[in-house]
Amino acid sequence: MSRDVNNKYWDEELETLPREELEKRQLEDLKEIVKFAYENAPYYKRSFDEADVKPEDIQTLEDIQKFPFIDKKTQRDTQGVGSFLGELAAVPEEDVVFISTSSGSTGVPTMSPFTKKDFDEFQDTESRWFWQVGMRPNDRYVHALNFSLYVGGPDVIGAQNLGALSIWGGTLPSERLLFVLKTYQPTVIWTSPSYAWQLGEKALKSGIDPKKDLNIKKIIVAGELGGSIDATRKSIEDLWGAEVYDFYGLSDIFGACAAMCEAKDGLHIAENHILVETVDLHTGEVLKPGEVGELVFTTLRKHARPLIRFRTGDIGWIDNTPCSCGRTHGRIHINGRKDDMFIVSAVNVFPSDIEAVIREISGITGEYLIRVFEKDFTCKYSVEIEKNADNPASDKEVSELVSAALKGRIGVKPYKVVVHPDGGLDTRSEHKSKRIIDERKLDYII
């Protein structure tokens, strides 16, 4: 199927469906997938029976609220039980053509299986996101994401299916990746926001000006929140002279499930594949669109391992109001991970709040590390930052400046701000950067 390169939509009919028609299609798929899960996945048969619900109870989209939640613990507890794929799987192993696994950063890694149809629809969605940010068949694309069991690795196939010349970079050392960027002059790259920033810094230090010596026009970022933090995104754009677009994905579902459009006001989520709910962190009560809570996803078309009311652990909200780009699929806004949020003086603090402040302050590198700890039986936090080598201010002056900025934006000042020289923090990584260390010993219930 040939596409008009001047049409900004990959699938105009799907992307601009009136909400009523979109929700009608969602309901049809929801009825089918809940029935399929009940009849084929041992866990869902057992849990639905215990909750006294059955597939026929789904008559409206809101009826999904009658069904029980699942989460990462459910995945771990059922993985490998009864079969290699476990009790959440709804197809036999011979129908599975691909599996990815989670990083295991919050526990035992969990696998995500795909049938051939699951995988093909996954890649068509990736093509849709690439097209949405402006990639076209005449682009050269570097996929600088981990290929080792990571669900984002195969997303490069979505670029190839679109027709772009695709370079399977993976997690190359910075020097090698810069060689690729300078030699092959690609126009699009996908990596993490922290690495996009660090790679640009390394380019400058090695005598390469990303704006003049390279040909990158668009940078796709994912895996961390930086791409949706205005200050971070603008810093990367200024460094590279390129447009930055944020993508959001889950190893539990597929690579990128949501992506920015040109409006850069949230990330359009593939509502033809995912039914989105937002629930109260404590009670599980379903919240209205626009209210902040934990995002809960139900997969509508993934058959290898359906996820019915999966609590993602991501805190955010969904906006179903019309977007200026013309797409009707809702936009999600992510505030942070439930695991990373901490409470200081009754204020909910996310690392993304702190990053937004750090990236706006001149005279510091933008690198940071957060330490969360106990003092006098209360939760405190400190922030470590790096001062630019050419910054004439004293460490004390920089510390006070950062502390005041954090207090002004977040509402609670850090216990202290530690200032390091440029390069003094061990936070730079060629994948996701570790920026929070939790030193607390008490249990803090969020």
Express the helix, strand and coil content of the chain in percent, nearest 5 each: 35, 25, 45
Tens-digit pLDDT string for the chain (446 aa): 578 999 999 999 999 999 999 999 999 999 999 999 999 999 999 999 999 999 999 999 999 999 999 998 999 899 999 999 999 999 999 999 999 987 655 556 889 999 999 999 999 999 999 999 999 999 999 999 988 888 899 999 999 999 999 999 998 899 999 999 999 999 999 998 888 988 999 999 999 999 999 999 999 999 888 888 888 899 999 999 999 999 999 888 988 999 999 999 999 999 999 999 999 988 999 999 999 999 999 999 999 999 999 999 999 999 999 999 999 999 999 988 877 778 787 677 878 788 888 988 999 988 899 999 888 767 889 999 999 989 999 999 999 999 999 998 888 889 999 999 998 887 776 566 678 888 877 544 44
Fold category of 342-438 in CATH: GMP Synthetase; Chain A, domain 3 (3.30.300)
SS3 label, residue 189:
strand
Phi then psi dihedrals of residue 235, to 5 deg:
-60, -40
d(C-alpha 40, C-alpha 13), whole Å? 32
d(C-alpha 286, C-alpha 282), whole Å? 11
Domain extents in the chain:
1-338, 342-438
Number of H helices, E strands in the chain: 12, 19
Fold category of 1-338 in CATH: Rossmann fold (3.40.50)
